Amino acid sequence: MIKPHGSDKLNPLYVRDKAERERLLKEAESLPSIVVSSAAAANVVMLGSGYFNPLIGFMNRADALAVAGKMITTNGLFWPVPIVNVVKDASAIKVAATKWTPEQSGMISMDIITAATAGARRIALRDPNVEGNPVIAIQTISAIEEFTPDEMELMTEKIFRTKDPQHPGVAAFNSAGRTVISGPIKVLSFSYFESEFPETFRTAYQIREEMERMGWKKVVAFQTRNPMHRAHEELCRMAQEQLKADGILIHMLLGKLKAGDIPADVRDAAIRVMVEKYFPPKTVLISGYGFDMLYAGPREAVLHAIFRQNTGCTHLIVGRDHAGVGSYYGPFDAQTIFHQEVPKGALAIEIFEADHTAWSKKQNRVVMMRDVPDHKPEDFVMLSGTKVRAMLAAGETLPVEFSRPEVAKILMDFYRSERGKNAR
């Protein structure tokens, strides 16, 4: 297993000691509080899980701008996207008149304190995704700052390579607000992920522990926000065989997606039946992480590599249009960024570059298209995501060359139930 990103040891920010966690929750009752955005709550979960190692909390304005611009923090840490707690209104935590000094606050990076931070030193962060908005973390404030409209525009363009408000990531990023609250956090909850996905949600440190128990040294990770069809299944198999990996981590996103994407519980069920039926025992670890999809294409692919390194994986499969949406990115931009923009030695994890995979009518199996130059388009069974959704919505059976029957049934049952709801 490889070392975490940026440190020798994983530093998850979740307070694992129950007594300490209960003490902090009691303290939170008397603290000024703020309901954070869904994206910030997901960042809390990722920080608590150790996926965002070695960060100790939310970035300040200078770090966010540096990361957006050049993928490096002001202290030299390589990082691809800002990890921020951005709100529309911070007045609820600016009410106290008392100012504090860096020495009093016990903070590490207090040189950035601004006049705006007169007020609460410690605040409770409340979860927008759970009824009653329970406390999800306590943050010690190092600064409360404002991004200018020009800075928001610059970060948007750098992170997403577009300013189009129709891009779901751009829309979410720009709707959260411009006030950035920075400082370290102590995580007290994993939001709804533990309760809704008890068999699937795992932290980075839990995955490390499991892989160590299984004796895995070389592990290839597969990122997914969709159900896995035959091409995905075979891609995992190809990567494991070519790399001679001990195992595969199928790591699914459990957080919020754009409208129209298939819910996490349906994807989870489809993936589990595929692994159970078609992979040898003890060769695949199925897990999920609590994060809202950014749809940031190349930048998000690099983030995916970092937090898979933090789980101990040695390789990440990066395929066609990884973490993309629509036609905002070129089909292999998410691979190119690792060669052109990621500094040599910045990451320990390696990338397994995959081409588009599809069923070959000639060879009667799934192939990587670059490996069969003699094939013509009509030699493949290929279905777009749009076509698949249309077939499922119409109650049509997916071709066995495209989807395993057991997977197709789960998806068809879901779409049938959705049609039933809409008919009422």
Tokens read off for 355: 């081409």
Residue type for position 120: A
CA distance readout (Å), 376 to 91, 361, 362, 381: 62, 10, 10, 11
Decide: 328 and 160 in contact? Cβ < 8 Å: yes
What does the DSSP assignment read for 156-202? HHHHHS---TTSHHHHHHHHS-SEEEEEEEEE---TTHHHH-TTTB-
Sheet of strand 247-253, all strands in order from the earlier edge strand to the far edge: 284-289, 247-253, 219-224, 315-318, 350-353
Tokens read off for 33: 């509080």
Decide: 407 and 227 in contact? Cβ < 8 Å: yes
Q: How far is 220 from 424, CA to CA, in rounded Å?
A: 45
Neighbours of 101 (CB within 10 A): 8
Q: How far is 188 from 76, CA to CA, in rounded Å?
A: 29
Residue from 121, 122, 202, 225 carrying the catalytic annotation: 225
Query: Is 202 assigned a catalytic role?
Result: no
Residue from 226, 237, 320, 389 carrying the catalytic annotation: 226
How far the first Cα of the chain sits from its last, in Å, is: 52
Query: Is 75 assigned a catalytic role?
Result: no
Residue (of 323, 268, 264) closest to 297 by Cα position:
323
CA distance readout (Å), 355 to 138, 154, 338, 367: 44, 32, 16, 9
Length of the chain: 424
Residues designated catalytic = 225-226
